[in-house]
Amino acid sequence: MDEEQLQKIGEEVVQVLSEIYDPEIPVDIYQLGLIYDVQVSEDKDVKILMTLTSPNCPVAESLPEEVRLKTQALEQVNEVEVEITFEPPWEKDMMSEEAKVELGLF
Protein backbone atom coordinates (compact mmCIF):
# COMPACT_ATOMS: atom_id res chain seq x y z
CA MET A 1 0.00 0.00 0.00
CA ASP A 2 1.48 3.31 -1.00
CA GLU A 3 1.74 6.48 1.08
CA GLU A 4 -1.06 8.20 -0.83
CA GLN A 5 -3.53 5.38 -0.08
CA LEU A 6 -2.59 5.42 3.60
CA GLN A 7 -3.02 9.19 3.72
CA LYS A 8 -6.47 8.85 2.12
CA ILE A 9 -7.51 6.34 4.79
CA GLY A 10 -6.21 8.73 7.47
CA GLU A 11 -8.30 11.54 5.99
CA GLU A 12 -11.39 9.32 6.00
CA VAL A 13 -10.75 8.48 9.66
CA VAL A 14 -10.51 12.20 10.49
CA GLN A 15 -13.80 12.77 8.63
CA VAL A 16 -15.50 10.11 10.78
CA LEU A 17 -14.00 11.60 13.96
CA SER A 18 -15.34 15.00 12.90
CA GLU A 19 -18.85 13.55 13.06
CA ILE A 20 -18.57 12.42 16.70
CA TYR A 21 -19.61 14.97 19.29
CA ASP A 22 -18.81 15.32 22.95
CA PRO A 23 -22.26 15.19 24.57
CA GLU A 24 -21.44 18.07 26.94
CA ILE A 25 -19.97 20.45 24.34
CA PRO A 26 -21.65 21.07 20.96
CA VAL A 27 -18.40 20.64 19.01
CA ASP A 28 -16.99 17.49 17.38
CA ILE A 29 -14.15 15.71 19.17
CA TYR A 30 -11.64 16.47 16.41
CA GLN A 31 -12.23 20.25 16.56
CA LEU A 32 -12.19 20.03 20.37
CA GLY A 33 -8.62 18.75 20.19
CA LEU A 34 -9.41 15.43 21.85
CA ILE A 35 -7.67 13.49 19.05
CA TYR A 36 -3.92 13.60 19.55
CA ASP A 37 -2.84 11.22 16.79
CA VAL A 38 -4.16 8.96 14.02
CA GLN A 39 -1.80 6.34 12.62
CA VAL A 40 -2.56 4.03 9.69
CA SER A 41 -0.31 0.99 9.22
CA GLU A 42 0.60 -0.78 5.97
CA ASP A 43 -2.00 -3.41 6.95
CA LYS A 44 -4.69 -0.70 7.12
CA ASP A 45 -4.89 -0.99 10.89
CA VAL A 46 -5.67 2.30 12.64
CA LYS A 47 -4.42 3.47 16.01
CA ILE A 48 -6.06 6.54 17.52
CA LEU A 49 -4.53 8.33 20.49
CA MET A 50 -7.10 10.50 22.20
CA THR A 51 -7.94 12.15 25.46
CA LEU A 52 -11.07 13.26 27.27
CA THR A 53 -11.94 16.69 28.60
CA SER A 54 -11.33 15.26 32.10
CA PRO A 55 -10.52 11.89 33.67
CA ASN A 56 -13.98 11.96 35.28
CA CYS A 57 -15.73 12.56 31.96
CA PRO A 58 -19.18 10.89 32.02
CA VAL A 59 -18.54 9.35 28.58
CA ALA A 60 -15.11 7.95 29.50
CA GLU A 61 -16.21 4.44 28.49
CA SER A 62 -18.72 5.10 25.73
CA LEU A 63 -16.87 7.78 23.73
CA PRO A 64 -13.72 5.73 22.97
CA GLU A 65 -15.94 2.80 22.00
CA GLU A 66 -17.96 5.03 19.67
CA VAL A 67 -14.69 6.22 18.10
CA ARG A 68 -13.55 2.61 17.64
CA LEU A 69 -16.83 1.36 16.16
CA LYS A 70 -17.32 4.24 13.74
CA THR A 71 -13.72 4.02 12.54
CA GLN A 72 -13.97 0.23 12.23
CA ALA A 73 -17.03 0.71 10.00
CA LEU A 74 -14.87 2.29 7.28
CA GLU A 75 -14.54 -0.18 4.42
CA GLN A 76 -10.76 0.25 4.00
CA VAL A 77 -9.95 -0.16 7.71
CA ASN A 78 -9.03 -3.50 9.27
CA GLU A 79 -8.40 -3.29 13.01
CA VAL A 80 -8.83 -0.22 15.20
CA GLU A 81 -7.14 0.48 18.51
CA VAL A 82 -8.16 3.48 20.59
CA GLU A 83 -5.76 4.50 23.32
CA ILE A 84 -6.75 7.03 25.98
CA THR A 85 -4.09 9.28 27.46
CA PHE A 86 -4.13 12.22 29.81
CA GLU A 87 -0.62 13.35 28.87
CA PRO A 88 -0.71 16.14 28.06
CA PRO A 89 -3.96 16.99 29.85
CA TRP A 90 -6.62 18.49 27.59
CA GLU A 91 -6.95 22.28 27.76
CA LYS A 92 -9.21 24.74 25.97
CA ASP A 93 -6.17 25.97 24.02
CA MET A 94 -6.18 22.65 22.14
CA MET A 95 -9.46 23.49 20.42
CA SER A 96 -9.46 24.68 16.83
CA GLU A 97 -10.19 28.34 16.14
CA GLU A 98 -13.53 27.23 14.69
CA ALA A 99 -14.47 25.44 17.91
CA LYS A 100 -13.49 28.45 20.03
CA VAL A 101 -15.63 30.73 17.88
CA GLU A 102 -18.57 28.32 18.08
CA LEU A 103 -18.34 28.25 21.86
CA GLY A 104 -17.86 32.00 22.15
CA LEU A 105 -14.41 31.78 23.69
CA PHE A 106 -13.04 34.86 21.92
Q: pTM of this prediction? A: 0.92
Distance CA(14)–CA(32), nearest Å, equals: 13
What are the chain's domains?
3-89 (3.30.300.130)
Q: Are 92 and 22 spatial neighbours (Cβ–Cβ below 8 Å)?
A: no
pLDDT digits (tens, 9 = 90+) for 18-46: 999 988 788 999 999 999 999 999 999 99
Helix extents (H) in 23-92: 62-72
pLDDT, position 1: 74
